[in-house]
Amino acid sequence: MPYQTSARYLLAFVVLATLGCAPSQPITSSNNATQTVDTLFINGHVLTMATDQRTTLEAPTAVAVSLDQIVAVGGTELQKNYTATQVIDLAGATLLPGFNDTHIHIDGNAERYIDLTKVTSIAQMQSLVRARAQQLGRNEWITGYGWSEDELTERRKPTRHDFDFAAPNNPLVLTRAGAHSAVANSMALELAGFSRKSTDPQNGSLERDSNGALTGVIRERQDLLLALVPSAAEAELAASLAANLEALFELGITSITQAMAEPHEIERWRGVYAQKRGRLPRAAVQLVWPGPVKFAAFEGRSGDGDKHFRLGPLKVFVDGGFTGPAAYTKAPYRNETEYRGKLALSRQELTQIITTGHNAGWQLGIHAIGDAAIELVIDELVSAMTASNSDNAVGQRHYLNHFTVMPSAKTMQAMAANNIWVTQQPNFTYTLEGRYVEYLDGERLETNNALRTPMNHGVFMALSSDILPIGPMVGIYAAVTRKGMSGRQFGPGEALTVTEALAGYTRNAAFFTSEESTKGTIEVGKLADLIVLHDDPESINPEALLSLQVQQTWLGGKRVYQRKP
């Protein structure tokens, strides 16, 4: 069946818009000698990330900014043509667009929360738990996030016994990095009603030792424990959320898409952005599917908002992840005869959600990690888009969050033909190396979190971090080298160039929130969201990408971060 004219244009657009080929406006510079600007960046190496650099200079060295916009990009002539309130001498440093993380998790934390993202041993975790228990007092819940058995000296998952010893009088649940599993102590398990006799909860599983006793690790359904934790004061969570958002500037992140939020959490975000307007990274917040009744009652739709805060896509969970593991795969996991993960909902439920969201005009951002889950989602999306019989069906920019186990070529071709995109996390190849080696094998191990192959099939892609870890440099390093933490390289044919990886975190990312005309590149008329790196990522040894530092971050023409000497 032939496409309508508008659909045919969109199809051509997405083919052009693969990494390294996205359409863009030309760069221009003004010759108005009398114009005064707020800031003039000079003597830099400017990576515009634009694809059509029709300037008199092949390598721009200067950028002029007035209010929150870029007004000129060029060379030394800008110092003659513009008078600036402040001049920033980059002294050869690299200027590029701020990073845009299209799939990230940022929340406010209660006093009971422990940051475990940098722990290196179970003993260290026990020490932090012991101190927090003493601070909070008996019977108070302790929560935390960020541990990974792959980064612990003990090289094993912590168990309930570790924390029965450290906090015998406090219920505790500590979520693993990636948020697809958690460990609880015996007190917490008892309060949640879990015992040796318990069966696995729906869409989740309880890990057991060789004797059948609970280890304390629960996959995918730690929400059953977290639901018992008393809510923190709203003011406490809002203040922490603002602080956590501001901390992103140190990483050069000027825009994000929050990967999930319930309706009441979206209101918290709105309040924080109303209070700190222009002082936080630009955000789009995904609404996690709240059920048909709450969804029908929810006011707003993807894209509603302004340049500081807007609603993002409708978030749908289809399967789990590999930290559980629970990603839904076509073949059993390595060394398993049957287990291949689990779906988070039935196909009937998935059909209803996708159809409802699509027909309501929402952009859909769907969590699908295993190849079986991905193929199922694409079948359902294409079916819903075809049934809607709308010329705008391929223009809603639906996309998958994650793409770990590569699906069939037929599925990727269907994605390209129907304008279904991917926000990929190349940093998973680095951080989750141990999980992939344990659970995957053969081609699906080598092509984990594939980049080049989907692009070659015409799938448009941005890069993002999730929370493993948040820093873009890890993702850029892994995208370029395809190396895990051990230094092992996976599927080198999937690697990107540095330029392509940077585009995934800047230019391409702007398309996911339909803001490609206002940000993502250094071009006249676009927002002056800029970062300064101490070295040129395109010319250094790729191994040095991990240590590449952000020196300054600018949001809307205002400096919001300066690295201390």
The domain limits of the chain are 113-226, 234-513+521-560
> Which CATH class for the 113-226 domain?
alpha beta
Query: Which secondary-structure segment (H or E) carries 559?
Result: strand 558-562
- The reply to whether 113-226 and 234-513+521-560 are identical in fold is no
If you search the block for the tokens 């289809």, which residue do you land on?
Answer: 318
Neighbours of 32 (CB within 10 A): 11
State how far the Cα of 471 lies from the Cα of 431, in Å rounded to an integer.
12
- DSSP lists the bridge partners of residue 45 as 94
Q: Are 313 and 300 in contact (CB under 8 A)?
A: no
Q: Are 439 and 322 in contact (CB under 8 A)?
A: yes
Q: Are 461 and 406 in contact (CB under 8 A)?
A: no
Mean pLDDT per block of 10 residues along the chain (565 residues) reads 34 39 40 79 96 62 97 95 96 98 95 93 97 96 94 94 95 92 96 95 93 95 95 93 97 97 96 95 98 96 97 96 90 95 94 96 97 98 90 86 97 97 97 95 98 98 94 97 97 98 98 98 98 97 96 98 94
pLDDT of residue 52: 61
CATH of domain 234-513+521-560: 3.20.20.140
DSSP string computed for 20-85:
T----PPP-----TTEEEEEEEES-EE----S---SS-SS--EEEEETTEEEEEESTHHHHHEEEE
> What pTM, to 2 d.p., does this model score?
0.84
pLDDT of residue 23: 35
